[in-house]
Structure 1
Amino acid sequence: MSSITVNVIDRDGTRTEGVEWNSSESLMEALTRNKFPILATCGGNASCSTCHCYLGASAATATANSPIGDEEEDVLDMLDDTRHEDSRLTCQVEWSEELNGAEVTIAPEW
């Protein structure tokens, strides 16, 4: 199994560098395994927004292997106040070596 690391900024603004993300996991699974406050109410099925995050600019281009699908787009469309250009649902971001060192900011709770 391969792994990479990402840098995570939590809702309090605390930055944690070198968070391990294994190739068998979605970003949501890596974040929850590392005890970040991701509820994942829908279990990773892109039907809630409790795993909403912002990906840094370099990460946004590196997610070409897992672009925003229709279901994810529908959920993100409901986030009027907190959706940004770089918004993603962590359950829909697939592991990629290109994401090594990426910055992930956990979005505010609604």
Structure 2
Amino acid sequence: MSSIEITVIDREGNRAEGVPWEDDESLMECLVANSYPILATCGGNASCSTCHSFLDRATFEKAGEIQEDEEDVLDTIEDEREPTSRLTCQVEWDEDLAGAEVTIGPM
């Protein structure tokens, strides 16, 4: 099993570097495994927005295309959405995402 390290900024602005992300996890699963308060109400099926977070620009560009289901959910939270918003359940592990900075979105 491989892993990479990312930086996570929680809702209170606390920054944690070196957070491990295992290759069999989505970004949402990584956040949950590392005890971040992600509800994941839909179980990672891109049908709620409880795992909404913001990626740094470089990570956003490397994280793959936003699919239609994710786009539809992000459109429902337009007031909270930023240009680098993603549903973390839809961001798959990739070695190229090492060093990513993830800011957990508002509840």
Q: Are 1:107 and 2:105 matched, yes or no? A: yes
Q: Are 1:17 and 2:10 matched, yes or no? A: no
SS at match of 1:88: strand
Aligned to 2:88: 90
**Partner AA of 1:59 in structure 2:** T
Aligned to 1:27: 27
**Partner AA of 1:75 in structure 2:** V
- Alpha-carbon shift at residue 61 of structure 1 (Å): 1.3
Aligned to 1:45: 45
**Partner AA of 1:98 in structure 2:** D
- Taking only the aligned residue pairs, the percentage that are identical comes to 61
Question: Which runs of 5 or more residues in structure 1 are unaligned?
Answer: none
* Structure 1 consecutive aligned stretches of length 4 or more whose deviation exceeds 3 Å: none
Q: Provide the C-alpha distance between the structure 1 equivalents of 2:83 and 2:39, rounded to a whole number of angstroms.
A: 22
Aligned to 1:36: 36
Q: Are 1:69 and 2:38 matched, yes or no? A: no
- Alpha-carbon shift at residue 80 of structure 1 (Å): 1.6
- Alpha-carbon shift at residue 43 of structure 1 (Å): 0.3
SS at match of 1:94: coil
**Partner AA of 1:97 in structure 2:** E
**Partner AA of 1:32 in structure 2:** V
Deviations 1:27-70 (A, max 9, x none): 00000000001000000000000000000011011113xx2101
Q: Provide the C-alpha distance between the structure 2 equivalents of 1:22 and 1:57, rounded to a whole number of angstroms.
A: 22
Backbone CA RMSD of aligned residues: 0.6
Q: Provide the C-alpha distance between the structure 1 equivalents of 2:58 and 2:68, rounded to a whole number of angstroms.
A: 23
**Partner AA of 1:46 in structure 2:** A
**Partner AA of 1:103 in structure 2:** E
